Amino acid sequence: MTASNDSAAQGTSTGIATTTAAQRPVARVSVLLYSDDYTTRDAVRAAVGRRPAKDVEVVRWHECATADAVISSVESDRFDIIVLDGEAAKVGGLGLARQLKNEIFECPPIIVLTGRPQDSWLAAWSQADLAVPHPLDPIALTSAVATLARSGVPSA
């Protein structure tokens, strides 16, 4: 063991726990993904992947194509992050985000996919935690998922 590892290991003897990025626990998250368009759902899953960051792992995807399925799923199951397509037909993800935030006790964090960057004001109205505009940027999407995963999701 090197001297720097010895001091890190002994850091708890002073009452101060030292944690490096390598020691950070992996946040394992389940994601609910809503879009009426399967190509959008495929694009989101492909962009985020299994490991959006070194310390974040997506362990489960649950896909919904209708707003009713989203509401039913959120009421009956536990998700760490919800991704809603703001461009979905019939019921858009922005209105659905606002509904979930107002009606679901301890609603999970929500990412909305907006039609364009200028729609960030709509994302704020929807009470979404983060917004990612179309066309989907894989880096922005993985960053959003990782940020929300780190913001209080207990590691499993």
- CATH number of the CATH domain containing 110: 3.40.50.2300
Evaluate if pTM is beyond 0.95: no
Residue 100 banded pLDDT, cuts 50, 70, 90: very high
- Nearest-angstrom CA–CA distance, 9 and 59: 30
Residue 144's SS3 state is helix
Residue 6 maps to a domain: no
- Nearest-angstrom CA–CA distance, 122 and 84: 13
Q: Which amino acid is at 119?
A: D
Share of the chain above pLDDT 90, in %: 78
Residue 25 banded pLDDT, cuts 50, 70, 90: confident
* Tokens coding 109: 């964090």
- By the 8 A CB rule, do 107 and 94 touch? no
Q: Is residue 81 predicted with pLDDT exceeding 70?
A: yes
Q: Is residue 57 predicted with pLDDT exceeding 90?
A: yes
Can you give the residue range of the structural domain that contains 140?
27-150
* Tokens coding 88: 């979905």
Rounded to an integer, the average pLDDT of 16-32 is 71
Q: Which amino acid is at 95?
A: G
Looking at residue 119, what DSSP letter applies? Answer: G
Residue 10 maps to a domain: no
Residue 142 maps to a domain: yes
Q: What end-to-end distance do the CA atoms of the chain give, in Å?
A: 28
Residue 122 maps to a domain: yes
Residue 138 maps to a domain: yes
Name the packing angle between helices 67-76 and 93-103 (round to 10°): 30
Count up the domains in the chain and report the number.
Answer: 1
Helices and strands counted in the chain (H then E): 6, 5
Rounded to an integer, the average pLDDT of 3-32 is 58
Q: Taking all residues of the chain, what is their mean pLDDT, rounded to a whole number?
A: 86
C-alpha distances out from residue 61 to 33, 79, 121, Å: 7, 9, 28
Residue 22 banded pLDDT, cuts 50, 70, 90: low
Residue 38 maps to a domain: yes
Residue 21 banded pLDDT, cuts 50, 70, 90: low
- By the 8 A CB rule, do 120 and 113 touch? no
